[in-house]
Amino acid sequence: MTQSKSVARSVARETPTTGLVVAKFGGTSVADYPALLRCAHIIENNPMTRIVVVSAAAGVTNRLAALSAGIDEQAERQRLLSEIMDIQHRITAELKPRPEASAQLREYLVLMAQYSELIAEGAGDGGTPDALLALGERCSSLLLAELLQQRGVQARDFNACEVIRTDSHFGHAEPRPKRIGMLAREFLLPVIQDEVAVTQGFIGADAAMRTTTLGRGGSDYSAALFAEAVRAQSLEIWTDVDGIYTCDPRQVPKARPIAELTFAEAAEMATFGAKILHPATLLPAQRGAIPVFVGCSREPEKPGTWIRNQTASRPVCRALSVRRGQTLLTVRSLNMLHARGFLAELFATLARHRISVDLITTSEVSVALTLDPTGSHSSGRKLVTEALLADLKKLCDVSVEEGLALVAVIGHQLTSTPDVASRLFSMIGARNIRMVSHGASPNNLCFLVHEADASDVLQTLHRGFLENP
Ligand code: ASP
Ligand code: MG
Protein backbone atom coordinates (compact mmCIF):
# COMPACT_ATOMS: atom_id res chain seq x y z
CA MET A 1 0.00 0.00 0.00
CA THR A 2 2.70 2.42 1.11
CA GLN A 3 4.77 1.35 -1.84
CA SER A 4 2.12 2.00 -4.46
CA LYS A 5 1.52 5.41 -2.94
CA SER A 6 5.17 6.35 -3.27
CA VAL A 7 5.19 5.07 -6.85
CA ALA A 8 2.23 7.27 -7.66
CA ARG A 9 4.02 10.26 -6.15
CA SER A 10 7.20 9.70 -8.08
CA VAL A 11 5.18 9.49 -11.29
CA ALA A 12 3.61 12.82 -10.45
CA ARG A 13 7.04 14.30 -9.77
CA GLU A 14 8.24 13.31 -13.20
CA THR A 15 5.28 14.79 -15.02
CA PRO A 16 6.78 16.45 -18.08
CA THR A 17 6.32 20.18 -17.81
CA THR A 18 8.07 21.31 -20.96
CA GLY A 19 6.19 24.01 -22.75
CA LEU A 20 3.80 24.71 -19.90
CA VAL A 21 2.34 28.23 -19.83
CA VAL A 22 0.92 30.00 -16.77
CA ALA A 23 -1.51 32.80 -17.69
CA LYS A 24 -2.59 35.44 -15.20
CA PHE A 25 -5.57 37.73 -15.75
CA GLY A 26 -5.86 40.93 -13.74
CA GLY A 27 -8.96 42.56 -12.28
CA THR A 28 -10.02 44.47 -15.40
CA SER A 29 -9.46 41.36 -17.54
CA VAL A 30 -12.09 39.49 -15.48
CA ALA A 31 -14.32 42.49 -14.72
CA ASP A 32 -17.43 41.36 -16.64
CA TYR A 33 -18.76 38.64 -18.92
CA PRO A 34 -17.26 39.96 -22.21
CA ALA A 35 -13.90 40.23 -20.43
CA LEU A 36 -14.16 36.63 -19.19
CA LEU A 37 -14.95 35.52 -22.74
CA ARG A 38 -11.75 37.20 -23.95
CA CYS A 39 -9.83 35.26 -21.25
CA ALA A 40 -11.43 32.04 -22.46
CA HIS A 41 -10.34 32.75 -26.05
CA ILE A 42 -6.76 33.43 -24.95
CA ILE A 43 -6.69 30.19 -22.92
CA GLU A 44 -8.25 28.11 -25.69
CA ASN A 45 -5.84 29.49 -28.28
CA ASN A 46 -2.86 27.90 -26.57
CA PRO A 47 -3.24 24.26 -25.49
CA MET A 48 -0.07 24.65 -23.37
CA THR A 49 -1.87 27.08 -21.07
CA ARG A 50 -2.72 24.75 -18.20
CA ILE A 51 -2.58 27.03 -15.18
CA VAL A 52 -4.69 30.16 -15.09
CA VAL A 53 -4.37 32.60 -12.20
CA VAL A 54 -7.06 35.23 -11.69
CA SER A 55 -7.56 38.41 -9.69
CA ALA A 56 -10.82 39.52 -8.16
CA ALA A 57 -13.03 41.43 -10.63
CA ALA A 58 -12.08 45.13 -10.78
CA GLY A 59 -13.51 47.02 -7.80
CA VAL A 60 -14.11 43.96 -5.63
CA THR A 61 -10.89 43.93 -3.60
CA ASN A 62 -11.13 47.67 -2.83
CA ARG A 63 -14.57 47.11 -1.32
CA LEU A 64 -13.52 43.97 0.54
CA ALA A 65 -10.52 45.86 1.90
CA ALA A 66 -12.83 48.55 3.27
CA LEU A 67 -14.99 45.85 4.86
CA SER A 68 -11.96 44.02 6.23
CA ALA A 69 -10.89 47.17 8.07
CA GLY A 70 -14.19 46.98 10.00
CA ILE A 71 -17.19 49.15 9.18
CA ASP A 72 -19.44 49.78 12.16
CA GLU A 73 -22.39 51.19 10.28
CA GLN A 74 -24.57 48.39 9.03
CA ALA A 75 -26.03 50.41 6.14
CA GLU A 76 -22.56 51.21 4.83
CA ARG A 77 -21.54 47.54 5.04
CA GLN A 78 -24.68 46.60 3.20
CA ARG A 79 -24.00 49.15 0.49
CA LEU A 80 -20.51 47.76 -0.19
CA LEU A 81 -21.73 44.17 -0.11
CA SER A 82 -24.50 44.86 -2.61
CA GLU A 83 -22.07 46.63 -4.94
CA ILE A 84 -19.89 43.50 -4.88
CA MET A 85 -22.97 41.34 -5.47
CA ASP A 86 -23.94 43.51 -8.44
CA ILE A 87 -20.54 42.96 -10.05
CA GLN A 88 -20.87 39.18 -9.70
CA HIS A 89 -24.54 39.12 -10.72
CA ARG A 90 -23.89 41.12 -13.87
CA ILE A 91 -21.52 38.31 -14.84
CA THR A 92 -23.87 35.48 -13.94
CA ALA A 93 -26.80 37.12 -15.76
CA GLU A 94 -24.95 36.35 -18.99
CA LEU A 95 -22.94 33.33 -17.92
CA LYS A 96 -25.93 31.43 -16.49
CA PRO A 97 -23.85 29.10 -14.32
CA ARG A 98 -25.04 25.57 -13.62
CA PRO A 99 -26.71 24.96 -10.24
CA GLU A 100 -23.58 23.79 -8.38
CA ALA A 101 -21.60 26.87 -9.44
CA SER A 102 -24.52 29.17 -8.57
CA ALA A 103 -24.79 27.59 -5.15
CA GLN A 104 -21.04 28.00 -4.60
CA LEU A 105 -21.20 31.67 -5.57
CA ARG A 106 -24.12 32.24 -3.18
CA GLU A 107 -22.09 30.65 -0.41
CA TYR A 108 -19.16 33.01 -1.08
CA LEU A 109 -21.47 36.03 -0.98
CA VAL A 110 -23.03 34.88 2.28
CA LEU A 111 -19.55 34.38 3.76
CA MET A 112 -18.60 37.92 2.71
CA ALA A 113 -21.51 39.28 4.74
CA GLN A 114 -20.75 37.06 7.72
CA TYR A 115 -17.03 37.87 7.87
CA SER A 116 -17.72 41.60 7.43
CA GLU A 117 -20.09 41.52 10.35
CA LEU A 118 -17.69 39.50 12.53
CA ILE A 119 -14.94 42.03 11.86
CA ALA A 120 -17.26 44.97 12.57
CA GLU A 121 -18.23 43.40 15.89
CA GLY A 122 -14.58 42.78 16.75
CA ALA A 123 -15.41 39.09 16.96
CA GLY A 124 -13.19 37.73 14.20
CA ASP A 125 -9.62 36.55 14.72
CA GLY A 126 -6.42 37.79 13.07
CA GLY A 127 -7.16 35.73 9.98
CA THR A 128 -10.72 36.86 9.32
CA PRO A 129 -9.79 39.88 7.14
CA ASP A 130 -7.69 37.64 4.87
CA ALA A 131 -10.47 35.05 4.65
CA LEU A 132 -12.78 37.89 3.60
CA LEU A 133 -10.37 39.38 1.05
CA ALA A 134 -9.76 35.96 -0.51
CA LEU A 135 -13.42 35.64 -1.51
CA GLY A 136 -13.00 38.14 -4.37
CA GLU A 137 -10.49 35.90 -6.11
CA ARG A 138 -12.53 32.80 -5.26
CA CYS A 139 -15.55 34.22 -7.12
CA SER A 140 -13.40 34.93 -10.20
CA SER A 141 -11.85 31.48 -10.48
CA LEU A 142 -15.24 29.84 -9.92
CA LEU A 143 -16.85 31.82 -12.74
CA LEU A 144 -14.00 31.52 -15.24
CA ALA A 145 -13.75 27.75 -14.66
CA GLU A 146 -17.52 27.53 -15.17
CA LEU A 147 -17.30 29.47 -18.43
CA LEU A 148 -14.50 27.25 -19.74
CA GLN A 149 -16.46 24.11 -18.84
CA GLN A 150 -19.54 25.44 -20.61
CA ARG A 151 -17.39 25.98 -23.68
CA GLY A 152 -16.25 22.36 -23.59
CA VAL A 153 -12.79 22.93 -22.12
CA GLN A 154 -11.80 20.48 -19.40
CA ALA A 155 -11.24 22.94 -16.61
CA ARG A 156 -11.33 22.91 -12.84
CA ASP A 157 -11.58 25.59 -10.17
CA PHE A 158 -8.40 24.82 -8.22
CA ASN A 159 -7.92 26.05 -4.65
CA ALA A 160 -4.65 28.05 -4.54
CA CYS A 161 -4.37 27.33 -0.79
CA GLU A 162 -3.45 23.73 -1.63
CA VAL A 163 -0.20 24.97 -3.15
CA ILE A 164 0.67 28.54 -2.10
CA ARG A 165 2.08 27.91 1.38
CA THR A 166 3.01 31.05 3.32
CA ASP A 167 3.96 32.16 6.80
CA SER A 168 1.19 33.43 9.09
CA HIS A 169 1.74 37.14 8.53
CA PHE A 170 -1.86 38.00 7.67
CA GLY A 171 -2.34 40.79 5.17
CA HIS A 172 1.20 40.47 3.85
CA ALA A 173 2.19 36.83 4.06
CA GLU A 174 5.59 35.62 2.93
CA PRO A 175 5.46 32.66 0.52
CA ARG A 176 7.58 29.54 1.09
CA PRO A 177 8.86 28.71 -2.41
CA LYS A 178 10.37 25.29 -1.58
CA ARG A 179 7.18 24.07 0.03
CA ILE A 180 5.18 25.54 -2.85
CA GLY A 181 7.27 23.57 -5.33
CA MET A 182 6.64 20.31 -3.44
CA LEU A 183 2.91 20.94 -3.10
CA ALA A 184 2.60 21.89 -6.78
CA ARG A 185 4.23 18.62 -7.81
CA GLU A 186 1.96 16.67 -5.52
CA PHE A 187 -1.39 18.37 -6.07
CA LEU A 188 -1.28 20.56 -9.16
CA LEU A 189 0.79 18.70 -11.76
CA PRO A 190 -1.53 15.66 -11.73
CA VAL A 191 -4.54 17.95 -12.31
CA ILE A 192 -3.06 19.73 -15.31
CA GLN A 193 -2.31 16.46 -17.07
CA ASP A 194 -5.73 16.69 -18.61
CA GLU A 195 -7.40 19.77 -17.19
CA VAL A 196 -6.85 23.51 -17.11
CA ALA A 197 -6.49 24.54 -13.47
CA VAL A 198 -8.12 27.92 -12.88
CA THR A 199 -6.82 29.22 -9.58
CA GLN A 200 -6.74 32.35 -7.44
CA GLY A 201 -3.97 34.92 -7.29
CA PHE A 202 -3.23 36.90 -4.14
CA ILE A 203 -4.16 34.15 -1.67
CA GLY A 204 -2.46 31.26 0.09
CA ALA A 205 -2.56 29.40 3.38
CA ASP A 206 -0.24 29.01 6.33
CA ALA A 207 0.88 25.68 7.80
CA ALA A 208 -2.38 25.44 9.76
CA MET A 209 -4.31 25.96 6.47
CA ARG A 210 -5.60 29.36 7.53
CA THR A 211 -6.14 31.59 4.49
CA THR A 212 -3.53 34.33 4.02
CA THR A 213 -3.07 37.10 1.45
CA LEU A 214 0.16 38.32 -0.15
CA GLY A 215 -0.52 42.08 0.00
CA ARG A 216 -2.36 44.33 -2.44
CA GLY A 217 -1.51 43.65 -6.06
CA GLY A 218 -0.26 40.21 -5.02
CA SER A 219 -1.81 38.18 -7.81
CA ASP A 220 1.14 38.73 -10.17
CA TYR A 221 3.36 37.43 -7.39
CA SER A 222 1.16 34.33 -7.07
CA ALA A 223 1.34 33.74 -10.81
CA ALA A 224 5.15 33.94 -10.73
CA LEU A 225 5.23 31.52 -7.78
CA PHE A 226 3.05 29.03 -9.66
CA ALA A 227 5.23 29.40 -12.77
CA GLU A 228 8.38 28.78 -10.75
CA ALA A 229 6.84 25.81 -8.95
CA VAL A 230 5.89 23.97 -12.14
CA ARG A 231 8.96 25.18 -14.09
CA ALA A 232 6.74 26.80 -16.68
CA GLN A 233 8.16 27.71 -20.05
CA SER A 234 6.61 31.15 -19.79
CA LEU A 235 4.39 33.31 -17.65
CA GLU A 236 1.80 35.54 -19.31
CA ILE A 237 0.49 38.58 -17.44
CA TRP A 238 -2.72 39.73 -19.19
CA THR A 239 -3.76 43.20 -18.19
CA ASP A 240 -5.36 46.36 -19.64
CA VAL A 241 -2.24 47.81 -21.25
CA ASP A 242 -0.47 46.36 -24.27
CA GLY A 243 2.93 46.09 -22.66
CA ILE A 244 5.47 48.07 -20.68
CA TYR A 245 6.07 51.48 -22.21
CA THR A 246 9.24 53.50 -22.77
CA CYS A 247 7.65 56.11 -20.51
CA ASP A 248 4.24 56.85 -19.04
CA PRO A 249 2.13 57.69 -22.15
CA ARG A 250 0.14 60.23 -20.14
CA GLN A 251 3.36 62.18 -19.66
CA VAL A 252 4.98 61.49 -23.02
CA PRO A 253 2.48 60.92 -25.84
CA LYS A 254 5.20 59.42 -28.06
CA ALA A 255 5.92 56.64 -25.55
CA ARG A 256 5.64 53.18 -27.11
CA PRO A 257 5.61 49.59 -25.86
CA ILE A 258 9.03 48.01 -25.35
CA ALA A 259 9.45 44.70 -27.20
CA GLU A 260 11.80 43.17 -24.63
CA LEU A 261 13.69 44.09 -21.49
CA THR A 262 15.67 42.37 -18.77
CA PHE A 263 14.43 41.55 -15.27
CA ALA A 264 16.95 44.07 -13.89
CA GLU A 265 15.52 46.84 -16.08
CA ALA A 266 11.95 45.87 -15.27
CA ALA A 267 12.73 46.00 -11.55
CA GLU A 268 14.29 49.47 -11.92
CA MET A 269 11.24 50.64 -13.83
CA ALA A 270 8.83 49.33 -11.26
CA THR A 271 10.80 50.95 -8.44
CA PHE A 272 10.95 54.22 -10.28
CA GLY A 273 7.26 54.61 -10.77
CA ALA A 274 6.02 52.45 -13.65
CA LYS A 275 3.02 50.86 -11.96
CA ILE A 276 2.63 47.81 -14.15
CA LEU A 277 4.54 45.24 -12.16
CA HIS A 278 5.79 45.22 -8.62
CA PRO A 279 9.52 44.35 -8.56
CA ALA A 280 9.06 41.57 -5.99
CA THR A 281 6.58 39.96 -8.34
CA LEU A 282 9.29 39.12 -10.78
CA LEU A 283 11.65 37.39 -8.39
CA PRO A 284 10.23 33.87 -8.66
CA ALA A 285 10.16 34.14 -12.45
CA GLN A 286 13.70 35.50 -12.52
CA ARG A 287 14.89 32.74 -10.14
CA GLY A 288 13.36 30.16 -12.44
CA ALA A 289 14.64 31.92 -15.61
CA ILE A 290 11.05 32.01 -16.85
CA PRO A 291 10.32 34.64 -19.50
CA VAL A 292 7.38 36.89 -18.60
CA PHE A 293 5.03 38.28 -21.22
CA VAL A 294 2.95 41.38 -20.49
CA GLY A 295 0.03 41.96 -22.83
CA CYS A 296 -3.46 43.36 -23.13
CA SER A 297 -6.35 40.89 -22.93
CA ARG A 298 -8.45 43.15 -25.18
CA GLU A 299 -5.82 43.06 -27.92
CA PRO A 300 -4.04 39.73 -27.52
CA GLU A 301 -2.64 39.89 -31.06
CA LYS A 302 -0.43 42.87 -30.19
CA PRO A 303 3.26 42.10 -29.59
CA GLY A 304 3.30 43.13 -25.89
CA THR A 305 6.51 43.09 -23.85
CA TRP A 306 8.80 40.18 -22.97
CA ILE A 307 10.90 40.29 -19.81
CA ARG A 308 13.87 37.90 -19.81
CA ASN A 309 17.19 37.25 -18.09
CA GLN A 310 18.99 38.12 -21.32
CA THR A 311 17.70 40.19 -24.20
CA ALA A 312 18.97 40.27 -27.78
CA SER A 313 18.99 44.07 -27.77
CA ARG A 314 20.93 46.03 -25.16
CA PRO A 315 20.28 49.70 -25.78
CA VAL A 316 21.98 52.22 -23.51
CA CYS A 317 18.59 53.75 -22.77
CA ARG A 318 15.53 51.50 -22.69
CA ALA A 319 13.03 53.60 -20.80
CA LEU A 320 12.43 56.67 -18.68
CA SER A 321 10.41 56.98 -15.54
CA VAL A 322 9.42 59.64 -13.10
CA ARG A 323 8.32 59.78 -9.51
CA ARG A 324 6.78 63.04 -8.35
CA GLY A 325 6.24 64.37 -4.86
CA GLN A 326 9.81 63.84 -3.70
CA THR A 327 11.26 65.47 -0.60
CA LEU A 328 14.92 66.43 -0.49
CA LEU A 329 16.58 66.77 2.87
CA THR A 330 19.97 68.48 3.01
CA VAL A 331 21.93 68.29 6.23
CA ARG A 332 25.16 70.18 6.95
CA SER A 333 27.53 69.79 9.79
CA LEU A 334 31.11 70.92 10.25
CA ASN A 335 31.45 67.91 12.54
CA MET A 336 31.41 65.80 9.41
CA LEU A 337 34.94 66.94 8.55
CA HIS A 338 37.19 63.95 9.20
CA ALA A 339 34.51 62.55 11.50
CA ARG A 340 33.46 58.96 11.84
CA GLY A 341 29.95 57.83 12.56
CA PHE A 342 28.06 60.94 11.46
CA LEU A 343 26.16 59.10 8.71
CA ALA A 344 25.41 56.23 11.07
CA GLU A 345 23.90 58.66 13.55
CA LEU A 346 21.93 60.43 10.84
CA PHE A 347 20.48 57.17 9.53
CA ALA A 348 19.70 55.93 13.03
CA THR A 349 17.69 59.11 13.61
CA LEU A 350 15.78 58.67 10.34
CA ALA A 351 15.12 55.01 11.12
CA ARG A 352 13.79 55.91 14.58
CA HIS A 353 11.27 58.13 12.80
CA ARG A 354 10.49 55.25 10.44
CA ILE A 355 11.69 57.07 7.37
CA SER A 356 13.24 55.18 4.54
CA VAL A 357 15.91 56.90 2.48
CA ASP A 358 15.95 56.61 -1.26
CA LEU A 359 18.83 58.44 -2.97
CA ILE A 360 21.84 59.84 -1.22
CA THR A 361 24.81 62.01 -2.19
CA THR A 362 27.47 63.36 0.12
CA SER A 363 30.05 66.15 0.14
CA GLU A 364 32.71 66.85 2.74
CA VAL A 365 30.34 68.69 5.07
CA SER A 366 26.85 67.87 3.86
CA VAL A 367 24.57 65.06 2.86
CA ALA A 368 21.57 65.29 0.55
CA LEU A 369 18.96 62.59 0.60
CA THR A 370 15.55 61.95 -0.84
CA LEU A 371 12.90 60.32 1.26
CA ASP A 372 10.95 57.42 -0.05
CA PRO A 373 7.27 57.80 0.77
CA THR A 374 6.49 54.16 -0.08
CA GLY A 375 8.49 52.49 2.67
CA SER A 376 7.35 54.96 5.31
CA HIS A 377 3.92 55.79 6.71
CA SER A 378 0.97 54.48 4.73
CA SER A 379 -1.39 56.98 6.35
CA GLY A 380 -0.35 59.73 3.93
CA ARG A 381 0.82 62.06 6.68
CA LYS A 382 3.84 64.23 6.06
CA LEU A 383 7.20 62.48 6.05
CA VAL A 384 9.12 65.31 7.67
CA THR A 385 7.60 65.95 11.06
CA GLU A 386 8.48 68.58 13.66
CA ALA A 387 9.76 65.81 15.90
CA LEU A 388 12.14 64.57 13.20
CA LEU A 389 13.43 68.07 12.52
CA ALA A 390 14.01 68.69 16.22
CA ASP A 391 16.02 65.47 16.50
CA LEU A 392 18.07 66.21 13.39
CA LYS A 393 18.83 69.75 14.51
CA LYS A 394 20.65 68.31 17.51
CA LEU A 395 23.09 66.81 14.98
CA CYS A 396 23.29 69.31 12.15
CA ASP A 397 21.68 72.12 10.13
CA VAL A 398 18.77 70.88 8.09
CA SER A 399 16.91 72.19 5.07
CA VAL A 400 13.88 70.62 3.43
CA GLU A 401 12.77 71.07 -0.17
CA GLU A 402 9.54 69.73 -1.55
CA GLY A 403 7.87 69.67 -4.96
CA LEU A 404 10.63 67.72 -6.65
CA ALA A 405 10.47 64.95 -9.23
CA LEU A 406 12.86 62.04 -9.55
CA VAL A 407 13.61 61.20 -13.18
CA ALA A 408 15.30 57.88 -13.94
CA VAL A 409 17.00 56.81 -17.15
CA ILE A 410 16.85 53.02 -17.32
CA GLY A 411 19.02 50.93 -19.60
CA HIS A 412 22.34 49.17 -20.00
CA GLN A 413 25.94 49.95 -19.24
CA LEU A 414 24.94 53.40 -18.10
CA THR A 415 28.06 53.47 -15.94
CA SER A 416 30.43 52.50 -18.74
CA THR A 417 29.07 54.34 -21.79
CA PRO A 418 31.25 57.45 -22.04
CA ASP A 419 28.88 60.05 -23.43
CA VAL A 420 25.59 59.21 -21.66
CA ALA A 421 25.88 61.80 -18.93
CA SER A 422 27.14 64.55 -21.23
CA ARG A 423 24.36 63.90 -23.75
CA LEU A 424 21.79 63.84 -21.00
CA PHE A 425 22.86 67.08 -19.40
CA SER A 426 23.19 68.90 -22.69
CA MET A 427 19.64 67.81 -23.62
CA ILE A 428 18.29 69.12 -20.35
CA GLY A 429 20.03 72.42 -20.95
CA ALA A 430 19.23 75.26 -18.62
CA ARG A 431 16.92 73.45 -16.23
CA ASN A 432 18.07 73.19 -12.68
CA ILE A 433 19.13 69.75 -11.50
CA ARG A 434 18.93 69.44 -7.73
CA MET A 435 20.75 66.15 -7.32
CA VAL A 436 22.27 63.38 -9.42
CA SER A 437 22.72 59.75 -8.52
CA HIS A 438 24.82 57.75 -10.93
CA GLY A 439 27.06 54.75 -10.54
CA ALA A 440 25.38 52.46 -8.03
CA SER A 441 23.77 50.44 -10.79
CA PRO A 442 24.67 50.03 -14.48
CA ASN A 443 20.92 49.98 -15.12
CA ASN A 444 19.94 53.43 -13.94
CA LEU A 445 20.95 57.04 -13.74
CA CYS A 446 18.62 59.34 -11.87
CA PHE A 447 18.32 62.95 -10.91
CA LEU A 448 15.97 65.40 -9.25
CA VAL A 449 14.31 68.35 -10.97
CA HIS A 450 11.53 70.69 -9.94
CA GLU A 451 8.14 69.10 -10.51
CA ALA A 452 7.18 71.91 -12.84
CA ASP A 453 10.07 70.95 -15.17
CA ALA A 454 9.49 67.21 -15.06
CA SER A 455 7.21 66.76 -18.00
CA ASP A 456 9.38 68.93 -20.26
CA VAL A 457 12.52 67.07 -19.21
CA LEU A 458 10.87 63.72 -19.91
CA GLN A 459 9.70 64.75 -23.40
CA THR A 460 13.17 66.08 -24.24
CA LEU A 461 14.99 62.97 -23.03
CA HIS A 462 12.46 60.70 -24.74
CA ARG A 463 13.07 62.52 -28.01
CA GLY A 464 16.86 62.39 -27.60
CA PHE A 465 17.30 58.85 -26.27
CA LEU A 466 14.29 56.90 -27.48
CA GLU A 467 12.90 58.52 -30.61
CA ASN A 468 16.20 59.19 -32.45
CA PRO A 469 18.77 57.21 -30.48
N1 ASP B 1 -7.19 41.55 -6.00
C2 ASP B 1 -5.99 41.93 -5.32
C3 ASP B 1 -5.83 43.44 -5.31
O4 ASP B 1 -6.60 44.14 -5.93
C5 ASP B 1 -4.78 41.28 -5.87
C6 ASP B 1 -4.47 41.67 -7.30
O7 ASP B 1 -5.33 42.00 -8.09
O8 ASP B 1 -3.28 41.60 -7.66
O9 ASP B 1 -4.95 43.92 -4.64
MG1 MG C 1 -3.70 43.87 -10.15
Q: Which CATH architecture has domain 2-312?
A: 3-Layer(aba) Sandwich (3.40)
327 is in an annotated binding site: no
Domain map of the chain by residue range? 2-312, 318-467
Listed residue (37, 17, 465, 455) closest to 251, CA to CA: 455
> What confidence score (pLDDT) does residue 416 get?
82
Q: What residues have their beta carbon closer than 5 A to ion ligand 2?
A: 26
Smallest-distance ligand from the CA of 60? 1
Distance 179 CA to ligand 2 centre (A): 25
Beta-bridge partner residues of 328: 370, 401
24 is in an annotated binding site: yes
CB atoms < 10 A from the CB of 32, how many?
14
Distance 191 CA to ligand 2 centre (A): 26
- Which residue, judged by its Cα, is nearest atom 6 of ligand 1? 217
Decide if domain 318-467 falls under CATH 3.30.2130.10. yes
239 is in an annotated binding site: yes
Quick one: DSSP state of residue 462? I
Smallest-distance ligand from the CA of 275? 2
Question: DSSP string covering 199-249, please?
Answer: EESSEEE-TT--EEE--TTTHHHHHHHHHHHTT-SEEEEEESSSS-BSS-T
Question: DSSP string covering 374-427, please?
Answer: TTS-SS---SS-HHHHHHHHTTSEEEEEEEEEEEEEEESSTTT-TTHHHHHHHH
- Which residue, judged by its Cα, is nearest atom 5 of ligand 1? 217
> What confidence score (pLDDT) does residue 442 get?
82
Q: How far apart are CA 20 and CA 290, in angstroms?
A: 11
Residue 433: CA atoms inside 13 Å, Cβ hemisphere, count?
16
- Ligand 1 site residues (CB inside 6 A) read 26-27, 55-56, 61, 136, 201-202, 216-219
Q: One digit per residue, pLDDT tens: the chain, 469 residues?
A: 333 333 333 333 334 457 999 999 999 999 999 999 999 999 999 999 999 999 999 999 999 999 999 999 999 999 999 999 999 999 999 999 999 999 999 999 999 999 999 999 999 999 999 999 999 999 999 999 999 999 999 999 999 999 999 999 999 999 999 999 999 999 999 999 999 999 999 999 999 999 999 999 999 999 999 999 999 999 999 999 999 999 988 889 999 999 999 998 898 887 665 567 777 788 999 999 999 999 999 999 999 999 999 999 989 899 998 888 889 999 998 776 666 788 888 999 998 988 878 888 888 788 999 986 654 443 445 778 899 999 999 888 999 999 999 999 999 888 888 888 888 889 988 788 888 888 778 888 999 999 999 999 999 999 999 997 5
Q: What is the best residue among 24, 30, 53, 55 to mutate for testing ligand 1's pocket, by most ligand atoms within 8 Å of CB?
A: 55
Q: How far is CA 154 from CA 17, 146, 190, 303, in A?
A: 18, 10, 14, 28
Smallest-distance ligand from the CA of 220? 1
Distance 58 CA to ligand 2 centre (A): 8
Question: Relative to the CA of 220, which ligand 1 atom is closest?
Answer: 8
Asked if the domains at 2-312 and 318-467 fall in one CATH topology, the answer is: no
